[in-house]
């Protein structure tokens, strides 16, 4: 299963998407995930020594239109809370994370856009970047204790904080265009989105310390990072597997 197709939204339009797969699958189809992201299912027959997947897409991304001084309504109304509960539940928080959330808790009246932007900036300044291509995100307390983490680690840390304040927050995987890097230095990226009515889902990136704008291309969103893995599947037999990836990002 592949989660590589950019998702559609009011701020993102998909103009082109193409897959080249070797060997050819016997069957390929799309399904919608629990949060509306697109999953591509591939089925194969026979034996092969390698699987090559090449994807290219063209998207238009816009910065969100955030109405100045919009009255963001948190806590949510009962119907919103019921629908958003998987994104609000902080789970079993480590005492260190609970203490950090209490320390950073906003005071009324809250400018949520400003406060969440400041949280992203604080994590960007205090958590060193740790490039880690494979593996699940570390627990929030581990990243906080080590003071370093990958983009997915820092995103999980920020999710743990915002959910403690009752803010619905989801994990996002996708791409970001970084003008300081060459096109061939692109990679999958992770950040968070917070539900701020009446603005909807608004992205914040603790790895760059910023509000997400037109340089971001969301692919998959979920209440849990485990549901946003770009590639998953299984094979039969006793063979070992090794995954290698390259990503190129160009801005027109």
| 231: its two tokens | 């590639």
The answer to whether the beta carbons of residues 153 and 137 sit under 8 Å apart is: yes
Average pLDDT on 206-231 reads: 94
Neighbours of 157 (CB within 10 A): 25
Instruction: Please give the Cα distance from 190 to 204 (Å, whole number).
Output: 10
Q: Does residue 186 carry a pLDDT above 80? A: no
Q: Are residues 194 and 243 in contact, defined by beta-carbon separation less than 8 angstroms?
A: no
* pLDDT tens-digit map of 115-154: 999 999 999 999 999 988 778 999 999 999 999 999 999 9
What is the pTM (predicted TM-score) of this model?
A: 0.93
For residue 184, what pLDDT is reported? Answer: 60
Quick: pLDDT tens for 6-35. Answer: 999 999 999 999 999 999 999 999 999 988
SS3 of residue 55 by DSSP: strand
- What's the pLDDT at 235? 75
- Average pLDDT of span 189-210: 96
Structural domains in the chain, CATH included, are 78-228 (3.10.620.30)
Question: Cα separation of 76 and 181, whole Å?
Answer: 40
Quote the pLDDT of residue 179.
Answer: 83
Alpha carbons 119 and 106: distance in angstroms, whole number: 10
Q: Is the pLDDT of residue 84 over 70?
A: yes
Query: At residue 68, does pLDDT exceed 80?
Result: no
Query: Do residues 23 and 51 lie in contact, with contact meaning Cβ atoms separated by under 8 Å?
Result: yes
Report whether pLDDT(5) > 80: yes
Q: Does 108 have pLDDT greater than 90?
A: no
């Amino acid at each position: 299963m592949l989660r590589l197709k950019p998702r559609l939204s009011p701020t993102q339009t998909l103009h082109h998407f193409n897959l080249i797969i070797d060997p050819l699958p016997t069957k390929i189809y799309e399904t919608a995930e629990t949060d509306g992201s697109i999953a591509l299912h591939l089925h194969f027959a026979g034996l092969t020594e390698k699987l090559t997947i090449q994807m290219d897409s063209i998207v238009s991304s816009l910065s969100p239109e955030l109405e100045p001084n919009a009255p963001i309504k948190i806590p949510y109304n009962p119907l919103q809370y019921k629908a958003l509960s998987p994104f609000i539940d902080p789970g079993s928080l480590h005492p260190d994370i609970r203490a950090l959330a209490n320390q950073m808790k906003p005071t009324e009246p809250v400018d949520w856009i400003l406060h969440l932007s400041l949280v992203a900036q604080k994590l960007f300044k205090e958590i060193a970047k740790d490039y880690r291509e494979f593996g699940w995100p570390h627990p929030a307390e581990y990243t906080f204790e080590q003071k370093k983490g990958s983009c997915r680690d820092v995103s999980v840390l920020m999710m743990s904080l915002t959910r403690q304040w009752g803010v619905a927050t989801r994990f996002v995987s996708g791409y970001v265009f970084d003008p300081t890097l060459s096109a061939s230095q692109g990679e999958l990226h992770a950040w968070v989105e917070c539900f701020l009515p009446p603005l909807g889902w608004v992205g914040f990136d603790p790895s760059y310390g910023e509000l997400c704008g037109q340089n971001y291309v969301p692919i998959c969103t979920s209440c849990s990072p485990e549901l946003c893995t770009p590639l998953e599947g299984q094979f039969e037999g006793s063979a070992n597997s090794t995954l290698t990836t390259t990503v190129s990002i160009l801005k027109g």
